[in-house]
Amino acid sequence: MKEKILVTGAGGFIGHHMVRFLKKKGYWVRGVDIKYPQYSPVDEADEFLLLDLRELQNCLIATVGIDKVYNFGANMGGMAFVTNVKAEVMRDSALININMAEACRINKVKRIFFSSSACVYPEYKQLETEVIPLKESDAYPAEPDTAYGWEKLFSEQLYTNFQSDYGLQVRIARFHNIYGPEGTYQGGRQKAPADICRQVALAGSKDKIQLVNDGKQTRSFCYVEDCVEGTYLLMNSNYSKPLNIGSDRLVTINEMVDMVCKIANKKLGKEYHPGPQGVRGRNADLTLCKKVLKWEPRMSLEKGLEKTYKWIDNELTKNHVAKGKLQAYK
């Protein structure tokens, strides 16, 4: 018989890509979220339930008859959002994780995947642009730079203790800046790749791309299809400790803007404003991931950005957004 899989956060970016991936693998999939997917059909899942997972009863409903859970449910957004919205992010995401862990215990779910984040890593290791890639062991002594990162670190410990005390099998990935088509690109919760693609798509020849600080802050970025493949391999492995899933190619935000401008065949300037940039530099050490999963990302950043840009540009055109009228920086 097919394993029955629950994907929480299935109305969100990585979650609905995971639903699609699992269905292609032949699994029976139940999607759950507080909202329907914005950019993909609800019926990609065999069943889709609208449930608020901050309530234990709803988590119990979601996990009935389920063999494995991919838990992407969280209150989150880009740096501007998680910097300004702290208590809500911690409260909502912690409630989801506490209730999901307990529901899995009660309903005897075999295994749960938790989507943690590179935001768990300490700020003191990320103060320079030419940052040393972060190993999994670098998470402690702990000093995340955001409330979002602290909640992720707490939830890693929560699931680890449910594993040791109750035998719930746990798999944990620390995602490093996942991007791609069918994700949020406007409204305040978007992350850097989508925001840059939107700005470039909307820009006229005299517009300048609006960036935080000097644009020299560095990150590595992983394409969403690579991410879900790595997640699937981790879920089906015997490895139960946190594991980096991401890319180890470090680029500046300025370089990313130049890449997107080249894709769009536009020559645009840049304008800088003070604002939350997060840590100065962050990169993933994939040594352990390559060893454990025999996995590394395959999509180049240039090709992934091209796919992302074309999708966002098409969405803006489809929604009749006027080009050449770049919104003022906020």
Neighbours of 164 (CB within 10 A): 11
The pLDDT value given to residue 321: 63
The secondary structure of residue 249, as a DSSP letter, is -
pLDDT for position 81: 87
Lowest average pLDDT, out of 44-48, 131-135, 321-325, goes to: 321-325
Q: pLDDT value at position 326?
A: 54
Residue 82's pLDDT is what?
Answer: 87
Please give the mean pLDDT across all residues of the chain. 95
Region at 214 (left for phi over 0; alpha for psi -120 to 50; beta for the rest) = alpha
User: What pLDDT, in 10s, does the model give residues 152-203?
Assistant: 999 999 999 999 999 999 999 999 999 999 999 998 889 999 999 999 999 9
pLDDT at 319 over 90: no
pLDDT score of 329: 40
The tokens 């769009």 sit on which residue? 264
Average pLDDT, integer, range 202-208: 93
Residue-level pLDDT at 28? 97
Q: pLDDT exceeding 90 applies to what percent of the chain?
A: 89
3-state helix, strand, coil in the chain (%, to 5): 40, 15, 40
Q: Which helix (H) or strand (E) holds 316?
A: helix 301-318
More confident call, 290 vs 79: 290
Closest CA to 237 of 169, 189, 323: 169
How many whole angstroms from its chain centre is CA 26? 24
Query: Which two tokens mark 288?
Result: 């352990």
| Band (18; pLDDT cuts 50, 70, 90) | very high
Which residues are identified as catalytic? 148
**Which tens digits make up the pLDDT trace of 271-302?**
999 988 889 999 999 999 999 999 999 999 99
Residue 241, number of CB atoms within 10 A of its CB: 13
Of 147, 167, 173, 159, residue with least CA distance to 81: 147
| 306 pLDDT higher than 80 | yes
Which domains can be identified in the chain, with CATH numbers?
A: 4-178+223-245 (3.40.50.720), 180-220+249-282+299-318 (3.90.25.10)
* pTM recorded for the entire structure: 0.94
* Model confidence pLDDT, tens digit, residues 112-135: 999 999 999 999 999 999 999 999
pLDDT of 323 over the 80 cut:
no
Residue 1 is predicted with a pLDDT of 65
Question: Using alpha carbons only, how large is the chain's radius of gyration in Å?
Answer: 19
pLDDT digits (tens, 9 = 90+) for 216-258: 999 999 999 999 999 999 999 999 999 999 999 999 999 999 9
